[in-house]
Amino acid sequence: MKISYYHVAGDVPEGIKAEAAVVVDVLRATTTIAWALNNGAETVQTFSDLKKLRETANNWPKESRLLLGERGGKRLDGFDLGNSPVAVVPDVVSGKRLFMSTTNGTRSLERVKNSKTLYTMSLTNRSAVAEKLLERQPKDLWIVGSGWEGSYSLEDSLAAGALVQFLLEKSHSTASIFNDEATSALAVWETWKNDPEGCLIASTHGQRLIGLGNHEADFKCCAALDQLSVVPTQNEFGLLHAE
Ligand code: 3SL
């Protein structure tokens, strides 16, 4: 398995695709997706286009749908939920289809939606996703960060590095690093692995969230490593199910 890391959707090469792709948005989209599916959400359907999201959601029974999303970290008008992983508790999401759009995470998903295997990952389900990849043994893997409006983000590199570290350690030499971004993500993980929450707080998006209000519970939740065994998987185009 040759591992590449791309910081943002715009860095992903055009015209080719990897056998497997893993999308990462630690703060907070892919952490929220993991918790929502873990807590019984039927499916998460992601959209970068809000008009399309509203049209699709309107064709779904009201009692079994939730609209979830943010722009600039703030809940969207008329939506049921923002993008907090601590809000998607079983009482709220169980049995529901989640129609979701976020500033950056859903764009990265859109960019690699044609991959044969597509998972989403956060720190919270890092080892579960890694184990799935080790089972499947794709010949190449693209880890795609979400960043912020097209630019690098520290926290996505942290999680990408955590995945690279796990794969290198457990793959019995079948996994190797293919680009410098993956090497530098590994270095970010080595630097912060004993204090992932400190890394999230130090990141510019962490600081942006702090500027919007108290996000302590979100930071704790997003920084907790290997808590969940759920692997959000695209089995149908644009839809993420728990595996
Ligand atoms: O950019 C995204 O996709 C979000 O996860 C951003 S936020 O953490 O909800 O502000």
Domains along the chain with CATH numbers? 2-242 (3.90.1560.10)
Number of C-beta neighbours around residue 50 at 10 A: 14
pLDDT computed for residue 160 by the predictor: 98
Distance CA 66, CA 25 (A): 20
Distance CA 197, CA 183 (A): 21
Pocket test for ligand 1, best of 8, 100, 205, 210 (most atoms within 8 A of CB): 205
pLDDT computed for residue 72 by the predictor: 86
User: Which structure tokens are listed for 68?
Assistant: 């979830």
Pocket test for ligand 1, best of 8, 26, 28, 109 (most atoms within 8 A of CB): 28
If you measure from the C-alpha of residue 113 to the centroid of ligand 1, how many angstroms do you get, rounded to a whole number?
Answer: 19
pLDDT computed for residue 218 by the predictor: 98
pLDDT digits (tens, 9 = 90+) for 21-76: 999 999 999 999 999 999 999 999 999 899 999 999 999 999 999 999 999 888 99
pLDDT computed for residue 73 by the predictor: 84
The verdict on the CB of residue 33 being under 6 Å from ligand 1 is: no
Distance CA 35, CA 32 (A): 5
Give the chain's residues under pLDDT 50: none
The verdict on the CB of residue 158 being under 6 Å from ligand 1 is: no
Mean pLDDT, the chain, rounded, equals 96
Task: Report the predicted TM-score, pTM, of the whole model to 2 decimal places.
Answer: 0.97
pLDDT computed for residue 97 by the predictor: 98
Distance CA 183, CA 193 (A): 15
The verdict on the CB of residue 70 being under 6 Å from ligand 1 is: yes
pLDDT computed for residue 237 by the predictor: 85
pLDDT computed for residue 3 by the predictor: 98
